Each structure stands twice: as structure tokens, then as C-alpha cells.
Structure 1
Amino acid sequence: MSDKPRYMRRLTHAEAELWTIVTANVRPFHARSPAQNEAPPAPVVAESLREAGQKPAPVAHLDRPPAPRPPAPLVEIDHRTRVKIKRGRLDVDARLDLHGMRQDEAQRALTGFLRRAQADGAKVAIVVTGKGLSREEGGVLRRVVPMWLQAPHLRDVVVGFGEAARHHGGEGALYVQIRRAERMRRR
């Protein structure tokens, strides 16, 4: 096989003009030289202290523990998992019904429920929020529970969530995938 392309067409005048406009502000990328990659030289004070037999004070950023890893991003429950739940091949391990609760008590109940479910080894839970009185806007809990599930204090518990199947509550319920407790302890 040859390395030459089989067919090369010339750019039209309009394509050539467009290409000129697009590439007008492009600048070549220059890799750093080895001198730029080296660490800055040690301060003169440290050398003079070493000569005098004294140890320089440790650098503050070396003494700090490494920053904690950011929490894993939430993902929506994938189609395959949703189908497994819907068909009964993946069990729903826990269920919480928030009907009739005020926001503050619903939030406390949700947090406690998810932490207990995680401790019990649950993989999938259903949280029933209800559809609300007005169909267009939906209920308050239906709007705020997804925000609560995304909160930083629940990232170590919640992997992701998505709308439940019709027989589990449909628009008025959410499937919540729960992170395994052992996984969080290993980090």
C-alpha cells in the first residue's frame, strides 16, 4: 500500500477563505525547555544554615497532608440498570416514602435513611417524593430531593439517581444507587 492519499481535491475559494479566517490567530505550541522543568534553586539562606551546621526549617507545603480527593461525580442510573430493576432482576433493597413531610424533616429522614441503607449493604433504594398537587410545577419535594441527593455530604453514599419505573412510582419516585460502604473506607 502506498502512503499517498488516493484522491485530494482542492479547496473551493469559499473554503480557502474560511480556513484563512479560522487559522489567523493560531500560534505554534512550543514545548518547555528542560531548564524550565527544573525546580528553582534552593535559597541562599538554606545553604548558609547547612554550612553553619544547622538544619533549615521544613518547607510548609511538604508538611501538609495531601488534599483529599474530590468526591466522585454523580451519574444518572444507566438504562441497563433501570431495566434490571424494572424487570425484577435487580432488587430494590430499601424504600422511603416522604409523602406528607415538611422539607426539614424530609431532608433529615432522607439523609438518615440513605446512611442506614448503605450500612446495611443496600445497592438500590427507592425514594418516593410524590408528584405534587400541580402537575406542571410538581411538588416541592419532587423538586428539592434531587438537589439534596447531589449535596456534598451525601456524595460518599449516593452513586447516582434517576426516575423510577411506573410501577415503582414513576415521576413521583427516584431510584437511588448506593455506594458500597467498604469502598469509601479504602480511600
Structure 2
Amino acid sequence: MARDRKLSADERILWGKVARSTRPMPGKAGALTELDAFLAEAEAAAELEQEKQTPATPTPLQATAPSTAKPSAGVHHPLEKPVKRKIAKGRLALEARIDLHGLVQSQAHAILLDFLIRAHERGMRHVLVITGKGSSMGSEGALKRAVPLWFSKPEFRYLISSYESAAQHHGGEGALYIRLSRRHGERP
């Protein structure tokens, strides 16, 4: 393999999952910080390269847009009410579900990412993610709070079109309906 070859987006996601699932050997924690620094540099270089590839000249429509507008990258919209109602009543099937109860955040992150990638690759559109309400043993719902935040991260952003709290019989506030984005080239 060539040393100067850049990792693809899928390879970076996979490497991130592998890196998060490992622990340093005793006395080797210094090498881990070097790896983290290397990964941070690589990510910054990739972002810089992506910025160079985007056109710098604004289109006439962008020039007239107000400057207070925020970019929508990474922002997911809630499910439309009719879609949520159909899922809740069982008229629109949930094609898969995953239960993250009892997992720590690092485990849940890797498992959820793998689940969503597989569901997306299979062309699924609506899935259920059960995070739990987190009210037992003094916990304040770490996964309930963390999972929606993860959805704005690059590894999740392209997979998810929208999400919203589930209906009571599907877990209520301890679960999320997720609409996966369409695969590239797939027709609506």
C-alpha cells in the first residue's frame, strides 16, 4: 500500500471505530497521544482540502442572502407529523431496531454507528434506536443526551435525514425514530 494514499471517508470512519475500541498497553499511553495528534492533523488537513475544493465565489443567490443565515450542515429536522403518526400507528413499518440499554457511551457509539451504516447500506428508511430514559441509579440519561449530539458528527451526518422522540408504546422519550437518508443515486 502506498504511504501517501489518502484514506477514504469510509476508511476513516472504520479506523475511528477501531481506534476508539482499543486500550493502550501498560506504559504505552504516550504512543496513543501521538496517534491522537496524528489523527487530529489528518482530519484538519482533510477539512482544509475540502474547503479548497468548494467554490469560493458566491452565486448571485448567496450574495443577496442575509448574513444572519446559519449553515444547515449537520442540522437534522424533525420527522414530519404525518410520517411520525404513521410509524406510531404501525402503518409505516420500522425496518430495524437497536437497544442501547446498559452500554457505556464508547460502546454505544461504535455499535450505533455500525447499526446505522448497515441499515443505510441495505436501503432501510425508518429505524428505532432505544437509548433508555436513564433515570435509574442516579443517572440522568447519558445516552439519551449523547445520541442526538452524535448525529451532528461527520460519521453520522450523511446517514441520517431526520429523527424525533418515539411514541410512548415504542419507548417514548427513551427512544428515537430515525429516518435514514437515501443512498446515493436512489430515487425517492
TM range (shorter): 0.5 to 0.7
TM-score (norm 2): 0.58
Deviation of the 1:88 alpha carbon: 1.2
1:146-157 to structure 2, matched below 5 A, reads 146-157=148-159
Q: CA deviation at 1:141?
A: 0.6
Tell me the matched-pair count. 122
**Residue pair 1:71, 1:156 contacting (<8 A) in 2 also:** no
AA matched with 2:99: D
Bigger Rg, which one: 1
Whether the 8 Å contact between 2:74 and 2:152 is mirrored in structure 1 is no
State the 1:133 CA deviation: 2.4
For 1:117 and 1:125, locate their aligned partners in 2 and report how far apart those are by CA, in whole Å. Answer: 8
Distance 1:85 1:136, change over 3 A: farther
Q: Which residue of 2 aligns with 1:123?
A: 125
Once residues 77 and 136 of structure 1 are traced to their aligned partners in structure 2, the CA distance between those partners, rounded to angstroms, is 31
What residue in structure 1 maps to residue 89 of structure 2? 87
Change (3 A) 1:83 1:155: same
Q: Which residue of 2 is the match for residue 114 of structure 1?
A: 116
The percent identity for this pair of structures is: 38
What secondary structure does 1:90 align onto? coil
Q: Amino acid of the residue matched to residue 179 of structure 2?
A: Q
Summarize deviations over 1:152-176 as a string: whole Å, max 9, x none.
2211100111000011111110001
Per-residue deviation at 1:136? Answer: 9.5
Cα distance in 2, alignment partners of residues 77 and 70 from structure 1: 16
Higher share in helix: 2
Secondary structure at the aligned position of 1:75 is classed as: coil
Equivalence for 1:138: 140
Which residue of 54, 68, 72 maps to 1:66?
54
List per-residue Cα deviations over 1:98-149 (Å, max 9, x = no partner): 0111110100001111010000111011000011125997311111111012
The verdict on how the C-alpha distance between 1:120 and 1:104 changes in structure 2, with shifts beyond 3 A counting, is: same
1:167–1:102 CA distance, 2 compared to 1 (3 A): same
* Structural mapping, 1:1-187, within 5 Å: 65-66=53-54, 71=73, 73-134=75-136, 138-183=140-185
Any unmatched runs of 5+ in structure 2? 1-51, 56-70
Q: Does structure 2 conserve the Cα–Cα contact (< 8 Å) formed by 1:160 and 1:178?
A: yes
Q: Name the CA shift for 1:135/1:100 in 2 (closer, same or farther; >3 Å).
A: closer
Change (3 A) 1:169 1:70: closer
Post-superposition offset of 1:66: 3.5
